[in-house]
């Protein structure tokens, strides 16, 4: 059981700072001028995602032998944070591609699967997806009803998955799908890699979402979708482990996104408070305003430290389930608070869709839901504390 009592001071290395500066410069020059338009038109910016791949953003945490930079989990958190500081849609595209599509292949894939799917993913040549959530079950993985049966030397998959990121756009190459497989009278989950274009695999139209408008999110239908034996990812009947093992890393990614969004919201609110005058002075001088900003500054720094600590533990190969849950729980709720306070400080101007303020407000809420809701994360932490079974 982890106790979360140790303390560590975090200071980015020269390489990590250089990577941060590179991603920040790219985000400010190539993403910020267009993010509002992409949000308004629900446009998935494939060219920008390709450029991020060329910068190495997709391969930061993967070993060099598989096309990555081998820079580690902290560096990956820094990349996602910097992207979310400008646009959460781009951040989730990168984060999901790495954590819940690439990592399962790295951890459970055969050498052939790694070469075929992970290497081009790490290079940013294509995107991957992971499909576990279903219309009738999200947090409850064991409620999955998608099935895979053996027939004529193939696995035949049937079922529907919901809220899947990166599965149907022009860069999408594969999806990892969990399905129940009949074994010894039971039906445990197994995981399969399904290439885009496979007969019977049918990505549906993109959802029209509250936020993350420039991110590709769809329902996936599997209708007698046939894949060969080599599509099996990990051991037969161990699909739950294939899904749950990378989940902690995914929570670090969402925590980093939350920190980035909160930081961006704080910067917007601070700049506006310094410029906006009322009663003869900038509103930043009013205690009601600068106390809000001071509280947010403190909470964001705490969220960042929690996130970097969880990432550092992951990078060191140490247990980090509790730390990842705590980072994601705290950071996501700080992000919602920051987005709300940003809008509040902007007043009427914050309610008009001519700035990034409403976009940040809409993008924030999903952070408390995806990769484990706040309620589930509190349960995870309590379980790690030995408070529940």
Active site residues: 371
Query: With contact defined as beta carbons under 8 Å apart, do 27 and 83 qualify?
Result: yes
Q: Tell me, what DSSP letter sits at residue 180?
A: E
According to DSSP, residue 186 is labeled B
User: What tokens were used for 221?
Assistant: 């239908």
Q: What CA–CA distance (Å, rounded) separates 343 from 341? A: 5
Non-local (6+) Cβ contacts of 167 within 8 A are 129, 131, 175, 196, 203, 216, 218, 220
341 neighbors 350 (Cβ within 8 angstroms) = no
Q: Which helix (H) or strand (E) holds 14?
A: helix 14-26
Contacts of 282 (CB under 8 A, 6+ apart): 273, 274, 275, 276
Query: CA dist 246 to 49, 73, 323, Å?
Result: 22, 12, 14
What is the length of the chain?
389
Alpha-carbon span 177 to 143, nearest angstrom: 14
Distance (Å, whole) CA 250 – CA 47: 24
Sign of CA dihedral 313, 315, 321, 324: positive
Question: Which residues, 6 or more positions from 253, have their beta carbon under 8 angstroms from its beta carbon?
Answer: 76, 77, 80, 95, 96, 98, 99, 371
């Amino acid at each position: 059981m982890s106790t979360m009592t140790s303390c560590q001071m975090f200071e980015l290395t020269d390489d990590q700072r250089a990577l941060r500066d590179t991603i920040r410069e790219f985000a400010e020059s190539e993403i910020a001028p267009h993010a509002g338009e992409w949000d308004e038109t629900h446009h998935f910016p494939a060219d920008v995602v390709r450029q991020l791949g060329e910068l190495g953003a997709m391969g930061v945490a993967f070993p060099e032998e598989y096309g990555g930079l081998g820079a580690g989990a902290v560096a990956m958190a820094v990349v996602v944070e910097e992207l979310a500081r400008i646009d959460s849609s781009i951040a989730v595209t990168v984060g999901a591609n790495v954590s819940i599509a690439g990592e399962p292949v790295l951890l459970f894939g055969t050498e052939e699967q790694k070469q075929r799917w992970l290497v081009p993913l790490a290079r940013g040549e294509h995107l991957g997806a992971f499909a576990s959530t279903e219309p009738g079950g999200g947090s409850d993985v064991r409620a999955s009803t998608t099935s895979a049966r053996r027939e004529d030397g193939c696995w035949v998959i049937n079922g529907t998955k919901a809220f899947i990121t990166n599965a149907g756009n022009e860069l999408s190459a594969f999806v990892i799908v969990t399905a129940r497989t009949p074994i010894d009278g039971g039906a445990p989950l197994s995981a399969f890699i399904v290439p885009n274009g496979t007969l019977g695999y049918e990505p549906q139209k993109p959802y029209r979402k509250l936020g993350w408008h420039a991110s590709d999110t769809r329902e996936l239908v599997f209708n007698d979708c046939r894949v060969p034996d080599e599509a099996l990812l990990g051991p037969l009947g161990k699909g739950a482990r294939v899904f749950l093992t990378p989940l902690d890393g995914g929570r670090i990614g969402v925590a980093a996104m939350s920190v980035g969004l909160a930081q961006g919201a704080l910067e917007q609110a601070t700049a506006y408070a310094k410029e906006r005058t009322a009663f003869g002075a900038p509103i930043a001088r009013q205690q009601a305003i600068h106390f809000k900003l001071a509280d947010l500054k403190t909470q964001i720094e705490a969220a960042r430290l929690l996130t970097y600590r969880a990432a550092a533990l992951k990078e060191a190969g140490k247990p980090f389930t509790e730390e990842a849950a705590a980072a994601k729980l705290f950071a996501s709720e700080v992000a919602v608070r920051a987005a709300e306070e940003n809008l509040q400080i902007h007043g009427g101007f914050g309610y008009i869709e001519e700035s990034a303020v409403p976009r940040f407000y809409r993008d924030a809420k999903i952070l408390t839901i995806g990769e484990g809701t706040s309620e589930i994360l509190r349960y995870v932490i309590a379980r790690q504390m030995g408070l529940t079974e």
